[in-house]
Copies of this chain bind each other. A is one copy, B any other.
Amino acid sequence: MVTLESVQTAADRIRHDVIRTPLLVNETLDASLGCRLFFKAENLQHTGAFKARGAANAVRNLTPQQADSGVVTHSSGNHAAALARMARRVGIAAHVVMPHNSSVMKINAVRSYGVEPIFCEPASDQREAKAAEVMQQTGATMVHPFESHDVICGQGTMALELLEQVDDLDAVIVPVGGGGLLAGTLTSLKNTRPSIRVCAAEPAWADDTFRSLQSGQHEQPARYDTIGDGLRTQVGQQTLPIIRQFLDDIFLVTETEIAEATRTLIQHTRTIVEPSGAVAFAALSQQRSQFAGQRVAVVISGGNLDLSQGQYFRG
């Protein structure tokens, strides 16, 4: 079970493995949006995403026997690189199953940590089948990108830092894909400062969490091709109950809003932001009237943008 204590234990366990990411402020955006913004810059985390936290906690919590057989995951994105990094850091094997159509940048990120990806067909069941096969052959421990208890606890450490970095927050906005970051954040915040409103932001083109919260059961999204590629995954069996218990609100944002938010954040925060990492800010921009005058933390969850994608650099 994911508890405040398990997140606090994770924070202690991974303190030498992750960056205490800066909280960025921006006078221009404050003035134009009419609130006081604090950007939790997980795009400046190791591997360029909050995923470094969960991967670190999972790898550091392996038993010696488990460590001997290494770890395995399937991911097309930032979790793959984060797990490869941690495996190299502690000197164990990592097996990373990636869809053969993953972006070259993300494949290269995994390779940069000395891991050659195992390619598979993109469909979800194919990825899981290939990962299961690797587990069987190697005895490696599965570190799921968001269903793993240790991964959720690791992601929740972001919010504990936030509480140390800024006082009197009114609200926090967090993107949701598989829900690991959101569930961890809710666990951290609702068990310490329950009056802070925690809101999720989700692409309208990957709206399964929104639909699932409405219907009360796991739903499929409208479609699955949002530019927020880190959020194309379906919300987890482990994370949805935590989200349902604690979440205050969820906002859907359009592709245009995500692209505009990406450009705005790059221009004004002067950091590289990937579209998934701009989804929480897109929601804040859309809902600015309800946050007027408030102190709002907005999570920039990742910064692995293919820099040749000039469309996010305003001339």
Binding site for B on A (CB under 8 A): 19, 22, 24-25, 27-28, 43-44, 46, 48, 112, 266-267, 269-272, 303, 306-308, 310, 313-315
Contact = CB atoms under 8 A, between A and B. Distances in A.
Nearest to A19: B25
Contact of A46 (B27, B266, B315): B27
A44 B271 contact: yes
B270 A43 contact: yes
A44 B267 CA distance: 11
Contacts of A28: 112
15 contacts: A22-B22, A28-B112, A44-B270, A44-B271, A266-B272, A267-B307, A270-B272, A270-B303, A271-B271, A306-B315, A307-B313, A307-B314, A308-B313, A310-B310, A313-B313
A308 to B, nearest CB: 3
Contacts of A43: 270
A243 B162 CA distance: 40
A24 B272 CA distance: 14
Contacts of A308: 313-315
Contacts of A48: 270
A272 B307 CA distance: 11
Nearest to A314: B307
Contact of A307 (B44, B112, B315): B315
Nearest to A305: B270
Nearest to A263: B307
A266 B307 contact: yes
A36 to B, nearest CB: 14
Nearest to A304: B270
A89 to B, nearest CB: 9
Max chain B CB contacts within 10 Å: which of A266, A270, A303, A308? A270
A140 B19 CA distance: 45
Nearest to A26: B46
A80 to B, nearest CB: 16
A17 B76 CA distance: 43
A308 B28 CA distance: 20
Contacts of A313: 307-308, 310, 313
Given A19-B25, A266-B272, A270-B272, 10 more contacts: A22-B44, A44-B270, A44-B271, A271-B271, A271-B272, A272-B272, A306-B315, A307-B313, A307-B315, A308-B315
